[in-house]
Structure 1
């Protein structure tokens, strides 16, 4: 007896759903690459993303998504996403998976 059969015995009136619904983000993709650069401010490393020319609300959603996936702090100021720490490689792979073009600037 597998797990699904045990659940059917416990909850006979429950109907099984077909597939889990995946959440799609409606972020506008652009032709120009997003610039991902590294800086040090007050001796601490930060990663800056700039060059997004879509809606500001979409860029804020993207900033929140990056911060939650990486579990780091950051902010959104002057049409730039500022992430605490050097996460250029991880951020670039995340953005490429979403369909963005990303350009690495700096060392």
Structure 2
């Protein structure tokens, strides 16, 4: 009688080339992620500088500042009481974080 050997349900085969390829793929993914994070930080900094420049330009021009305030008031008036409360809370937090 011959005994049949049962194949294992999960088998692992250690292959050096597969290991090297996996390490290479992980390294490439890490470097791509690092580059993306660096670019995101640069973009965020650029947007922040743009926002500050725009705020200064609006504050420096009385006509534009008056129109800006009017538009903000119209926007707030068009919101529901709950939305208005949330928007004012967000503006307050934003002002505190900049101050």
TM-score (norm 2): 0.32
- Greater RCO, CA 8 A, separation 6+: 1
Bigger Rg over Cα: 2
More helix by share: 2
